[in-house]
Chains A and B, each alone.
Chain A
């Protein structure tokens, strides 16, 4: 496309970004508010951060969510990458249409449906085969791996399709077995996509309230579940403090990953020029 943005475009983009960022900025500002009233400024204070760090229930739930998100993202990257190899490199096989539907449908499926259906599956499985015995961290983990896999598959397969397939061909022609081609050629090239897929899966898992509420059991409360029940009771500056920490961690993580991916990108573009 063309290379100039009109003044209208610039104004519009600015307004768009104000719309996207102003609510978050307001949350951050009011996390430093002395007053308990979230909308009236009562002077600067960091006391809500102190209260947040003393909230045992919140910390426990945060740790639970973190563990689930870490495991779910890691498993989803493995299964999702396998799924994208199947979709991009395998051509036609029996059941391909069903396979792609199972990748695309979870992307849009309303969470209440996914949550209810997984809960009913776990209950039915417990009745018939006795596993999983109870609901808790394991069932939340399985649920999260399932929907995160779909997102990872989309991210990784778009990278895999853009990748120069002749590199793999060359390695194969030189006699490398398929697994060696994958680990020595394909994997390093698609690594940035694996990292963004992992980060995406991690945040999706960390963020999920609805599905976790359906499939969790006693003793496995995740962070969004605690936030939701405290928000239902009314606005609390402690949640603002939590929001600020989450925004800070998320933007640092994402911007670092983005910067790293940009660097890998420019390096791989420059490489052929250096050779020639």
Chain B
């Protein structure tokens, strides 16, 4: 292999290994150490004393995660919230992707552009927009009270409901895009064949279109589900104190309690839980990336 080719592989390979792979090894290592009042605030795993190398692995952080039920509840509710949001997102996105895929080629690109455009503006600000809409004296409550439908504001901000809205709103384009790509690749002769043979439109959809768009549905769902499990900004800004999500727990463990080892253990367990969905996503994506 020539020198040139070697550097083309080498640069991205070394960069990603050093700054993406190695950090996980370090997180794994530090999850076995103890919190210490030092800089950096954790103990060394290996110590050299009396001409002897001692390796002390501390499983305390992990057993702590399983004794304090806060963590287990946070993991479970993150998975539940992310799962429900993913399903809602899929239900909202599918008809959008389908309608765009069936539009005239000229309008198709413009419609797709319109779906993606909001995600080019700040994520933080788009979530912030919902605070003003959902809060007690926010737009929805003011409007409903003005209409006289309600006389007490409905509590929407700082509930799980607000988190669902936030996730669906922020991640919708990530669901629409893979679905659209998938639906565009669909061989239209299959659809014609089915309807020529007398299948009703809904039957064509249920028996041909839907099963053939499975790959897009899986890819889109993973693009929403995996980051949503570890989401911090949305539960923090819209979910209030009541909504328990593991991304927020990790953040607080790190920034408020300054307990780096427990934060590392939280991250490692989260990663293990996400291993299966990440593998699923990887399998789809590596097909897309040209294998």
Q: Which A residues are within 8 Å of any B CB, using their own CB?
A: 1-5, 9-10, 12-13, 16-17, 19-21, 23-24, 26-27, 30, 38-40, 79-80, 82-83, 85-88, 90, 93, 95, 97, 99-113, 116-118, 120-121, 123-124, 127, 142-143, 145-146, 149, 153-154, 157-158, 160-161, 178-179, 199, 203, 206-207, 209-210, 213-214, 224, 227-228, 231, 235, 239, 242-243, 246-247, 250-251, 253-255, 258, 262
Chain B neighbourhood of A235, CB < 8 A: 128, 131-132
Picked from A3, A39, A100, A199, the residue with its CB within 8 Å of the CB of B102 is: A3
B99 engages A99 (CB within 8 Å): no
B156 CB within 8 Å of chain A: no
Chain A neighbourhood of B5, CB < 8 A: 90, 178
Known: A90-B9, A100-B282, A146-B15. A26 touches B267 (CB 8 A): no
Q: How far is the CA of A108 from the CA of B283 in the complex (A)?
A: 13
> Which 7 pairs between the two chains have the least Cβ-Cβ distance?
A110-B230, A117-B23, A9-B99, A23-B129, A83-B12, A108-B226, A102-B16
- For A157, the closest partner residue in chain B by CB is B289
Known: A27-B129, A235-B131. A112 touches B250 (CB 8 A): yes
Known: A5-B102, A38-B132. A117 touches B27 (CB 8 A): yes
B289 engages A227 (CB within 8 Å): no
Picked from A21, A161, A228, A258, the residue with its CB within 8 Å of the CB of B118 is: A21
A243 engages B12 (CB within 8 Å): no
Chain A neighbourhood of B92, CB < 8 A: 16, 19
Known: A5-B102, A86-B9, A250-B120. A108 touches B290 (CB 8 A): no
A227 engages B267 (CB within 8 Å): no
Picked from B109, B191, B230, the residue with its CB within 8 Å of the CB of A111 is: B230
Picked from B99, B138, B278, the residue with its CB within 8 Å of the CB of A13 is: B99
B26 engages A121 (CB within 8 Å): yes
Instruction: Identify the interface centre among B96, B115, B129, B184: most chain A CB within 10 Å of its CB.
Output: B129
Chain A neighbourhood of B118, CB < 8 A: 20-21, 24
Interface residue stretch chosen among B48-56, B58-66, B67-75, B231-239: B231-239
